[in-house]
Structure 1
Amino acid sequence: MPQNFVPFLKENARKEMIAVLNERLADTIDLSHAVKQAHWNLKGTGFIGVHELLDDVTANLRNGADDMAERIAMMGGLAQGTSKTVAEKSSLEPYPTDIVKIEDHVAALVERYNAYTTKLREGIEAADEAGDEDTADLFTEVSRAAEKDAWFIGSNSSAAA
């Protein structure tokens, strides 16, 4: 097993945090793939602005996933981010693959972002209860970015009309 660089956590708390981090990692990777699905397939007025926004949003999700995976490794765990694992473990609803209208993609993404940020907040609470302030801070940082991205996506003027 990899070395644990977070020795202050009790073993049961460390294992719990690794599990919670892996759950949110699966959600984060899944959501990043949903955003790319929308990015590739959306059509309509305002296309280029939304298309470019979704590239930035994907980068934010990938950064969050990387931070979660690195935290798992620091705690002596193994990050579980393969496509098969993500498909099995994500708590998010499957993203529709038959939509093209910007408005439909915006609605589908905002719905998933709302579910995602709810799960991140549950992760913050679990980390607080475990006494793991750094994981709570990581989830807070990811949540803050996700809420802002959801706002940007949902506020798209062409989709909100």
Structure 2
Amino acid sequence: MDTQASMDIIALLQMRLHALNDLHLTLKHIHWNVVGPHFIAVHEMIDPQVEQVRAMTDDLAERISTLGGEPNGTPGTLVDARTWSDYSIGRAEAIAHLGALDLVYTSLIEDHREAMQATETSDPVTQDMLIEQLRGLELFQWFVRAHLESSGGTLSTRGATTETGAASQAVDQARDQP
């Protein structure tokens, strides 16, 4: 791989590292702030996701190093580099957090897919790693969405564009179900 291609992939992976570090912290935030009748189910569902996302960050950082880069996982660098806002839900019902988390996963998965596609020709090793991470992230989103679907198959967050909007829609649908 030539130097420019390596530098481009390092930059791409650094943003994925920031995104997954942010996800890990967001998941812990949800774990600590979830309340309501589904508390224990969501509380216990989140911790394995946290651990697997942390393992993904380690893989990304090691790949950056392998390519000759210097992975940066400091909070200040993450905040300065990210293109998204902080998670916006505090202490709330489990279903509200799951609604917001669905949008978090959607955005993160879309960006991870773009990174995967960008490495198809230049670095199939990195692409393979990103594909494996996508497999896990999509599985986690499926777990979240299982709580958000009506018995008729309607996803409560459909059409939501903000975390608070998705949270509100999820709560409304849950209250409307028999």
- Could you state the TM-score of these two structures normalised by the residue count of structure 1? 0.88
- 1:35-114, aligned counterparts within 5 Å? 35-114=27-106
User: 1:139 and 2:130 equivalent?
Assistant: yes
Unaligned runs of at least 5 residues, structure 2: 150-169
- Cα distance in 2 for partners of 1:113, 1:157 equals 14
Kindly report structure 1 stretches of 4+ aligned residues shifted beyond 6 Å. Answer: 157-160
CA contact (8 A) 2:102 2:144 kept: yes
Report the residue type matching 2:6 in the other structure: R
In structure 2, which of residues 103, 111, 119 is the aligned counterpart of residue 127 of structure 1? Answer: 119
Unaligned runs of at least 5 residues, structure 1: 1-8
Instruction: Summarize deviations over 1:85-144 as a string: whole Å, max 9, x none.
Output: 111222333101434111111011110100000000010111114x20011011111111
In structure 1, which of residues 154, 157, 160 is the aligned counterpart of residue 145 of structure 2? Answer: 154
Q: CA RMSD in A?
A: 1.7
User: How many residues are paired up?
Assistant: 152
Report the residue type matching 2:40 in the other structure: I
Higher RCO, 1 vs 2 (CA within 8 Å, ≥6 residues apart):
1
Q: Name the SS of the counterpart of 1:55 in structure 2.
A: helix
